[in-house]
Amino acid sequence: MCGIVGYVGAVDGRAILVEGLKRLEYRGYDSAGIALIADGGQVEVVRSQGKIAVLEERLRARPVSGRIGIGHTRWATHGRPSDENAHPHSSGPFIVVHNGIIENYSEIKARLEKEGCAFSSETDTEVIVKLAEREWNSGKSAKDAIVASLKQLRGSYAVVFLCQETPGELIAARKESPLILGLGEGACYVASDVPAILSYTNRIVYLEDGDIVTVRKDGYVIETLEGEKKERVPQIIDWNPVMAEKAGYKHFMLKEIYEQPQAVINTFRGAVDLNRMDIRLPQLQLSDSEIGRIRRIYLVACGTSYHACLVGKYFIEKVCRIPVEVDLGSEFRYREPILDADTLLMVVSQSGETADTKAALQEGMERGAVCRAVVNVVGSSLARMAGGVIYTHAGPEIGVASTKAFTAQLVALYLFGLYVGRAVNRISREDLPAYVQELIELPGKMEDVLSRSEEISSLARRYMHARDFLYLGRGVLYPIALEGALKLKEISYIHAEGYAAGEMKHGPIALIDENMPVVVLMDRGPLYEKMLSNVQEVKARGGQVIALVEEARDDKAGALEDQFILPPTSSWLKPVLFSLPLQLLAYHVAVLRGTDVDQPRNLAKSVTVE
């Protein structure tokens, strides 16, 4: 998820672009750049790896100016953070900034290289501006060349173009990535999100998928790519700039909880080939023959990412019939793990910088294992150390408590299981469409659960003063019991334990009394009746039960006043849905208790020390 800003007006735009990018730094911050067309007509581009402060330093040394320009702060999806991969990207008279994922960029890049095109970056974005130049060279106008290039793209984009041949106008377009217009006095703005321009105007036009807009300082024209004019009513925004960085949410964590359906879509979309109904993971760099040699898989991570690995184990063993061991990053290297060339070590990490997980990967490399990584940050240490990666395209996760990265990790591990399952012929080509169809339906079910946050908020009010919580789950939901307990403890500071429900009678039942809320995860699978028994054991001792029940209320276990009903889904996808109410429960309890939800005490977003 990147930040884009564009400006055309009567005064110099450099400061406007830089300030706008700073307001978007939460969307991505591994590199940044701006481009301006100076009054003399020359194009000035300044880019830098690192945070926007580095760009500012370069601009102090090279104070470019112009009354029309574009800017970009990057969250890398293709190509590591570097000056060359930083936006804007230029070719011929065109300069572009882009937010999104061009799924067919490698095909386009190969075709253009065959025609003698030279590329200077590893990004998917550069193909957009190369295509525009190619179309322009064929005699099209600047706008028609841009339209023709956009029509060749598959995937998502929000783009803003400068063209040296038309220095009085910006051309912007969106498809599945957000883009807005800001209407000022004698100036117009384009941005990924409201915060970038709220200091200059609160009159906003929300562009829609398929819109392309020509923007001048005194107005704009919105059309479709087919040239049909479109009218969009300007809205008046009443947020303040700080609120706007969270898109109106009170905390980044809440915003990220609600971003999960999109994060799941972004994670699986690029990997699922709907035409061939197959799974593509080119960046994993793992051939069928290499997969054929794998006799054991280790999944290694820390914290929430470790819980994702526990879920991954169930699915991968089920569909691939290859033994999977799951280890904590902080333990793995001290137990002299049995690793060799027939072992695949997959580390999982949101940040890609966790010291214990890095050490585990180092151990695997030294012992000759095949090493891969699931990471959310392109170009992070783990992404660079491993022999290949699966990226969770969840976008920057600012809240310390991991939410959207977690469910995106689950999806990444599902994709890995399907990919390996196909390679070892445990999943036939005929089996795959059913799995893919369920993945496609998942985001809608997530939206349904998330839309009922108020039910969770009332549960939070009832139990916010408890001193201890117990979370119980069985089978593939046991790791979700662990994750739910971690979420609650790390942001509300209430002690919470996750337990395999079958273990309750082996100890934790001694804790049950009227002061101990017990969260039970009750999917309608083969273990449902056993979970009902757990509920009755808890209630028989005066315990308070909060039941997450699948499909329908269930009062077999007596008057269960506190139930949250989840939509049905296949067993392998239940962990994603059951996580959501647990994230919301932790969030609402923490808000009620007044803790710092986004930056809880003692914690860091990335634990880069052992």
Question: Which residues are known to be catalytic?
Answer: 2, 605
Residues shown for the chain: 610
* 148 is an interface residue for ligand AGP by CB under 6 A: no
The CA–CA distances, whole Å, from 496 to 166, 406, 499, 516, 593 equal: 61, 19, 10, 10, 15
- Taking CB under 6 A as the rule, which mask of x and - marks residues 455-494 in contact with ligand AGP? -----------------------------------x----
In the complex with ligand AGP, which residue's Cβ is closer, 221 or 604?
A: 604
* 583 is an interface residue for ligand AGP by CB under 6 A: no
In the complex with ligand AGP, which residue's Cβ is closer, 305 or 569?
A: 305
The rounded distance, in Å, linking the Cα atoms of 399 and 257 is 10
- Taking CB under 6 A as the rule, which mask of x and - marks residues 183-222 in contact with ligand AGP? ----------------------------------------
In the complex with ligand AGP, which residue's Cβ is closer, 462 or 605?
A: 605
Q: Which of 16, 389, 400, 531 binds ligand AGP (CB under 6 A)?
A: 400
Q: Are 236 and 203 in contact (CB under 8 A)?
A: yes
Q: Which of 48, 349, 381, 579 binds ligand AGP (CB under 6 A)?
A: 349
| Shortest distance in whole angstroms from residue 359 CB to ligand AGP | 12
Contacts of 329 (CB under 8 A, 6+ apart): 300, 301, 302, 306, 347, 354, 356, 357, 358, 359, 360
From the list 12-20, 186-194, 223-231, 300-308, the region that binds ligand AGP by CB under 6 A is: 300-308
From the list 234-242, 251-259, 400-408, 590-598, the region that binds ligand AGP by CB under 6 A is: 400-408
* 48 is an interface residue for ligand AGP by CB under 6 A: no
* 589 is an interface residue for ligand AGP by CB under 6 A: no
Q: Which of 201, 350, 492, 534 binds ligand AGP (CB under 6 A)?
A: 350
* 302 is an interface residue for ligand AGP by CB under 6 A: yes
| Shortest distance in whole angstroms from residue 326 CB to ligand AGP | 14
In the complex with ligand AGP, which residue's Cβ is closer, 140 or 593?
A: 593
Question: Concatenated DSSP letters for 147-188?
Answer: HHHHTT--B-EEEEEEETTSTT-EEEEEEBS--EEEE-SSEE
Contacts of 21 (CB under 8 A, 6+ apart): 3, 5, 32, 34, 52, 55, 71, 72, 73, 196
* 606 is an interface residue for ligand AGP by CB under 6 A: yes
* 125 is an interface residue for ligand AGP by CB under 6 A: no
Question: Concatenated DSSP letters for 7-31?
Answer: EEESS--HHHHHHHHHHTGGG--SE
Q: What is the DSSP letter of 417?
A: H
**Phi, psi (deg, nearest 5) at residue 575:** -55, -35
* 303 is an interface residue for ligand AGP by CB under 6 A: yes
| Shortest distance in whole angstroms from residue 548 CB to ligand AGP | 19
- Taking CB under 6 A as the rule, which mask of x and - marks residues 351-380 in contact with ligand AGP? x--x--x-----------------------
| Shortest distance in whole angstroms from residue 312 CB to ligand AGP | 14
Q: Are 517 and 469 in contact (CB under 8 A)?
A: yes
In the complex with ligand AGP, which residue's Cβ is closer, 267 or 350?
A: 350
Q: Which of 401, 411, 456, 580 binds ligand AGP (CB under 6 A)?
A: 401
| Shortest distance in whole angstroms from residue 567 CB to ligand AGP | 25
The rounded distance, in Å, linking the Cα atoms of 256 and 251 is 9
The rounded distance, in Å, linking the Cα atoms of 601 and 12 is 43
* 304 is an interface residue for ligand AGP by CB under 6 A: yes
User: Which pairing describes strands 3-9 and 187-191: parallel, antiparallel, or unpaired?
Assistant: antiparallel
Q: Are 350 and 311 in contact (CB under 8 A)?
A: no
The rounded distance, in Å, linking the Cα atoms of 610 and 608 is 7
Contacts of 84 (CB under 8 A, 6+ apart): 120, 121, 122
In the complex with ligand AGP, which residue's Cβ is closer, 129 or 311?
A: 311
| Shortest distance in whole angstroms from residue 228 CB to ligand AGP | 46
**How far is CA 341 from its chain centroid?**
32
Which residue's CB atom is positioned nearest to ligand AGP? Answer: 303
Residue 298, amino acid: Y
In the complex with ligand AGP, which residue's Cβ is closer, 170 or 383?
A: 383
Q: Are 47 and 82 in contact (CB under 8 A)?
A: no
How many Å from the N-terminal Cα to the C-terminal Cα in the chain? Answer: 29
| Shortest distance in whole angstroms from residue 409 CB to ligand AGP | 8
Other beta carbons within 10 angstroms of residue 144's beta carbon come to 15
Interface contacts to ligand AGP, rule CB under 6 A: 302-305, 349-351, 354, 357, 400-402, 490, 606-607
